[in-house]
Amino acid sequence: MNAIVGQRSPNFGVSEWVQGAPTNFDQEEDRIILLEVFQVNCPGCFMNAIPEAINIYNRYKDEGVRVLGLATAFEDFDKNTLDNLKMLVETGKVIGDTRERLLAQGQLQDGDTLSYKIPFPLGMDNLTKTADDPSQEEIMQFIYPQIPGFDSQPEEYKNQIIEKVKSYLKSKEYHAETFEKFALRGTPSAILVDRKGILRDVSFGQAGHLDVMIQKLLSED
């Protein structure tokens, strides 16, 4: 089941929780849930999105808002790993592009350690090894959320898109369940679910609107 904004949200995929107790959308009844999806090797995640999620956690944790973090991988599979996520949680150390960018910005301690601690639960997306050739169903599941009205497009255009997506999917070492189920476009991405379990927003990049949306959801019956 793919996620659709305005409908009941499916659960996100998680292979292992490395911080906090296991949970999911269907286990957080009567709470607003912000799921911050990031990659360990993603400078923007640690410079902007995760600090914003921490601010939301601190501001609303006593008002029925649950903040969760999920590390995923859609590239750099050698760096965006469960082991590097565990190292982040246990030591605060970051790697790769994240380390280089934050170091250049003077935002690290001792050369490789975050200046802040992530206080909310953190898990790893469910990754599965990619088959040699993606199925037609997998290709279309990728296309439909990205291109509304795809079926009504000219045949030549559709064939070009299908071939491009097929090549892209073949180039990936792993499928990331949450990343694909919610048709995320990259990281950081934020997934917002209301108290009734309805998916209300999926956003990519800097999500400065989240605070306003959470206030709106808190005011709803």
In this structure, are 50 and 83 located in the same domain? yes
In this structure, are 39 and 103 located in the same domain? yes
Q: What is the DSSP letter of 3?
A: -
Task: Report the pLDDT value the prediction gives residue 130, as an integer from 0 to 100.
Answer: 73
Judge contact between 6 and 47, C-beta under 8 A.
Answer: no
In this structure, are 120 and 139 located in the same domain? no
In this structure, are 61 and 162 located in the same domain? no
Q: How many domains does the chain have?
A: 2
Domain-located, residue 1: no
Alpha helices in 147-207 (DSSP H): 155-171, 177-181
Helices and strands in the chain, H and E counts: 8, 10
Domain-located, residue 167: yes
Cα–Cα distance list, 116 to 3, 55, 79, 101 (Å)? 32, 12, 21, 16
Model pTM score? 0.83
State the residue range of the domain holding 154.
131-171
Task: Report the pLDDT value the prediction gives residue 207, as an integer from 0 to 100.
Answer: 65
CATH assignment of the domain containing 119 = 3.40.30.10
How far is it, in rounded angstroms, from Cα 71 to Cα 149?
A: 31
Task: Report the pLDDT value the prediction gives residue 131, as an integer from 0 to 100.
Answer: 66
How far is it, in rounded angstroms, from Cα 139 to Cα 121?
A: 32
In this structure, are 192 and 86 located in the same domain? yes
In this structure, are 150 and 214 located in the same domain? no
In this structure, are 100 and 149 located in the same domain? no
Task: Report the pLDDT value the prediction gives residue 175, as an integer from 0 to 100.
Answer: 84
Respond yes or no on whether the N-terminal peptide bond of residue 188 is cis (omega within 30° of 0): yes
| Distance between first and last Cα of the chain | 27
Task: Report the pLDDT value the prediction gives residue 142, as an integer from 0 to 100.
Answer: 82
Task: Report the pLDDT value the prediction gives residue 205, as an integer from 0 to 100.
Answer: 84
Across the chain, which has 221 residues, the per-10-residue mean pLDDT values are 91 98 94 98 96 96 96 94 97 97 94 96 92 80 85 90 82 84 94 97 85 93 70
Domain-located, residue 52: yes
How far is it, in rounded angstroms, from Cα 209 to Cα 37?
A: 16
Report the phi/psi class of residue 206: left, alpha or beta, with left for phi > 0 and alpha for psi in -120 to 50. Answer: beta
Task: Report the pLDDT value the prediction gives residue 164, as an integer from 0 to 100.
Answer: 85
Judge contact between 12 and 179, C-beta under 8 A.
Answer: no
